[in-house]
């Protein structure tokens, strides 16, 4: 099993550009999450999904949108990138709440 995979691994955007980060998991997990990690800030939850076709806001949702059209995929979109969105983005998946979350390798995004 590949576990949780993320595409792309690195990306540089100019302010105002848009992009989509793709997360895929092959563990048949119901729940999926998008986090951002900034220096000295730990991981902060952006959006999450408790099942196919559902999404919900996390701690820092502004400037991001998500979609969960298939159970195994969770997409994170930036419609108009800003320098404040420069960060490392991690996707995770899990069984229902309280269970271990499995993380992907991360996407390093730089917005200039």
Partner 1 sequence: GENVGLHLPTLSVQEGDNSIINCAYSNSASDYFIWYKQESGKGPQFIIDIRSNMDKRQGQRVTVLLNKTVKHLSLQIAATQPGDSAVYFCAMGGSQGNLIFGKGTKLSVKP
Nearer to partner 1, 14 or 39 (CB): 39
Q: What is the DSSP string of 4-70?
A: EEEE-SEEEE-TT--EEEEEEESS--SEEEEEEEETTTEEEEEEEESSTT--EE-SS-TT-EEE-SS
Residues 26-65 binding partner 1 (CB under 8 A) are 33, 40-45, 48, 56, 58-59
Number of residues that bind partner 1 (CB under 8 A): 23
* Least gap, CB of 85 to partner 1 (angstroms): 19
100 binds partner 1 (CB under 8 A): yes
Whether the Cβ atoms of residue 102 and residue 3 lie closer than 8 Å to each other: yes
1 binds partner 1 (CB under 8 A): no
* Least gap, CB of 98 to partner 1 (angstroms): 5
- Cβ neighbour number for residue 22 with a 10 Å cutoff: 14
Query: Which residues here bind partner 1, judged by CB under 8 A?
Result: 4, 33, 40-45, 48, 56, 58-59, 90, 92, 97-98, 100-106
């Amino acid at each position: 099993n590949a576990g949780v995979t993320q595409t792309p691994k690195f990306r540089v955007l100019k302010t105002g550009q848009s992009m989509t980060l793709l997360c895929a998991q092959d563990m048949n997990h119901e729940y999926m999450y998008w986090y951002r990690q900034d220096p000295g800030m730990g991981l902060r939850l952006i959006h999450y999904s408790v099942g196919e076709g559902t999404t919900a806001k996390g701690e820092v949702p502004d400037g991001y949108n998500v979609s969960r059209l298939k159970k195994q995929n969770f997409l994170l979109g930036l419609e108009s990138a800003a320098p404040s969105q420069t960060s490392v983005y991690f996707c995770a998946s899990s069984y229902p709440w309280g269970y271990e979350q499995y993380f992907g390798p991360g996407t390093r995004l730089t917005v200039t």
